[in-house]
A and B are shown apart, each in its own frame.
Chain A
């Protein structure tokens, strides 16, 4: 290890312990701290409109969900085409409880952190169930299992009267120390809650990847027979990867329900599963920064496409359904092009950027 822990040029690891550090230099740590500080402080100086806060909150919720998808698809190498359904499980755990015990029951308005956690565990339970076939089979059959879970989820929500047949189920306003969170501070309050959740989950994932349980996922992805020979259980690891994905998705779903003050079926369709997958791929599969870049990039893309379709809707005939066409077309193109030309995603650009600064003044 170089003596200078502020500006290290290149990698000087002498122990595995050093390599496992989250922050290799103090500079990293300070910059990360400053970034977090900025995230927490900016709403005090800039008053964003509700529309912008909504977009920002959506991005952060997607970040939490994509942590899960990245764990199962990026780190454990199992395709999940039903991630929106797992998010929906979390959302409907909360909404279903609200429907059963009333939408302003103490449990929902006061014990909301508990409800968010319960939704996470519910998602984990369903994730583990869908992952169960992994005990018996290898390869990518599980992609089809997740797809069918998505279909079953859609059917259950659409046909069961308990879930209001896919119509919005309302959830009451929550309470904070200072009293009920009113209409004006709603988005700001949830911005902070979601931000804290996203940071805690992110640190959790980062730490998980340093432990044997996280490395186990990567080992099974790279070669499950070798992992088996090293004493891991590939089947159980895959089930556990799905459970983890379900956990993060469930948390994201509960946050989604609280922020929109209700859950409706239309946010958890197959189309949304594909959007989550696009986020994970564009951000960079198997990288933690990718879970941050992907949602930001895709949400910006989505906003731009809305603008384009609004503009094009002024002169195109009504049968050319550009508003509905542009989204699948755009996301599909983004997925395919990234997989073909930059399979490691935006996180790879970030890595190149970082290593440039790290190696400076040398070129390589």
Chain B
């Protein structure tokens, strides 16, 4: 039972970070219908910026956390400005292929830095002894990570519900022409969606980096796991991203805890999300919370 609870706790920890990373992906898809294949690389980039600021430049960690979010905010915005702005109006397939190219470019840039080949880990800045509650233990890093994730997701929900910019983003995702006619600048909203996605990605990256250490392969694998999460939750649903993130985290932890080592299986946590993804696409293609599209000619 303790083992089960322990798995549940770590599943929720991992899942909430999935939720945060999936959020950025959903933002871009919701506003511009682009599947951003390069999202994992942006997450990795955010993690590295936090590390570089904290360890190499000596900035306090919370300050560098905020600074990296600001930096990726502008980085993602300029990516949209340079590469995607001129593709507005082109078929969506070429925009998605541009993000595939971006993924490759960002990979290359990260390989150029020491982060591509070496592993780093953040210095301990929280008490190293885990909190223990009746046999179930959770480390301080994980706890703080979950709390920050919850705060960020809450802030994003508030932003979409109440802030003017958030409302205009929702309007654009609902109907581009109608929102243009009420004076919303659609390209600006696209840029903003990318910027917000970069911001949430940096947050997610920093938290993952603190929990698992900085290994490029791990971070990249984490970025690709975002796809099963968003497909499970429905590509255009923020609630879906949160719920599906936590479900996926639980599934992965249970797979690692109960399946691995039995029946000659190994590393199932890495593959199960993708199998689930294929099954969902076959039987419930719009995910748990996605909008069902009704096509009218």
Residues on A facing B (Cβ under 8 Å): 73, 77, 79, 81, 130, 132-133, 136-141, 143-145, 147-149, 151-152, 155-156, 158-159, 161, 225, 229, 274, 277-278, 281, 319-322, 324-336, 339-340, 343
Q: Provide a sorted-by-A list of 20 A–B residue pairs whose CB atoms are within 8 angstroms.
A: A79-B97, A133-B282, A137-B281, A140-B35, A140-B93, A148-B275, A148-B278, A151-B270, A152-B271, A156-B271, A159-B266, A161-B264, A274-B100, A278-B104, A325-B112, A328-B111, A331-B104, A332-B102, A336-B105, A339-B97
Q: How would residues 5 to 33 of chain B score, 1 for a CB under 8 Å from any chain A CB and 0 otherwise?
A: 00000000000000000000000000001
For residue A160, give the distance in angstroms from its CB to the closest CB of chain B. 9
- Within 273-289 of B, Cβ neighbours of A (below 8 Å) are at 273-275, 277-278, 281-282, 285-286
At the interface, yes or no: B185 with Cβ under 8 Å from chain A?
Answer: no
- Contact B96–A321 (Cβ < 8 Å): no
Bound CA–CA A231/B83 (angstroms):
38
With A136-B282, A320-B112, A325-B108: A340-B83 Cβ-Cβ less than 8 Å: yes
- Contact A343–B105 (Cβ < 8 Å): no
In the A-B complex, list the 9 residue pairs whose CB atoms are closest, starting with the nearest.
A329-B108, A332-B104, A335-B101, A332-B105, A325-B111, A148-B274, A336-B101, A155-B271, A133-B281
Residues of B within 8 A of A156 (CB): 271
With A144-B231, A325-B112: A340-B98 Cβ-Cβ less than 8 Å: yes
Select A329's contact among B112, B117, B265, B278, beta carbons within 8 Å: B112
Residues of A within 8 A of B33 (CB): 139
Residues of A within 8 A of B286 (CB): 137
Residues of A within 8 A of B104 (CB): 274, 278, 328-329, 331-332, 335
Residues of B within 8 A of A141 (CB): 231, 235, 281, 285
Residues on B facing A (Cβ under 8 Å): 33, 35, 37, 83, 86-87, 90-94, 96-98, 100-109, 111-112, 114, 116-118, 224, 227-228, 231, 235, 264-267, 270-271, 273-275, 277-278, 281-282, 285-286, 293, 295, 297
Closest B residue, CB atoms, query A270: B224
Bound CA–CA A301/B87 (angstroms):
26
Residues of A within 8 A of B109 (CB): 325, 329
Select B111's contact among A81, A324, A335, A339, beta carbons within 8 Å: A324
For residue B33, give the distance in angstroms from its CB to the closest CB of chain A. 8
Residues of A within 8 A of B278 (CB): 130, 133, 145, 148-149, 152
Closest B residue, CB atoms, query A136: B285
Closest A residue, CB atoms, query B220: A270
Residues of B within 8 A of A144 (CB): 35, 227, 231, 277, 281
For residue B226, give the distance in angstroms from its CB to the closest CB of chain A. 10
Residues of B within 8 A of A329 (CB): 104-105, 107-109, 111-112
Residues of B within 8 A of A151 (CB): 224, 270-271, 274
- Contact B111–A321 (Cβ < 8 Å): yes
Residues of B within 8 A of A159 (CB): 265-267
- Contact A319–B277 (Cβ < 8 Å): no
Residues of A within 8 A of B97 (CB): 79, 277, 281, 335, 339
Closest A residue, CB atoms, query B221: A151
Select B285's contact among A73, A137, A326, beta carbons within 8 Å: A137
- Contact B227–A335 (Cβ < 8 Å): no
- Contact B107–A332 (Cβ < 8 Å): yes
Bound CA–CA A148/B231 (angstroms):
11
Bound CA–CA A138/B118 (angstroms):
42
- Contact B116–A145 (Cβ < 8 Å): no
- Contact A340–B87 (Cβ < 8 Å): yes
For residue A363, give the distance in angstroms from its CB to the closest CB of chain B. 29
For residue B266, give the distance in angstroms from its CB to the closest CB of chain A. 5
Bound CA–CA A225/B297 (angstroms):
8
With A133-B282, A140-B35, A336-B105: A319-B118 Cβ-Cβ less than 8 Å: yes
Residues of A within 8 A of B267 (CB): 155, 158-159
Bound CA–CA A277/B92 (angstroms):
16
Bound CA–CA A322/B102 (angstroms):
18
Select A79's contact among B86, B93, B106, B270, beta carbons within 8 Å: B93
For residue A58, give the distance in angstroms from its CB to the closest CB of chain B. 20
With A133-B282, A136-B285, A340-B86: A148-B108 Cβ-Cβ less than 8 Å: no
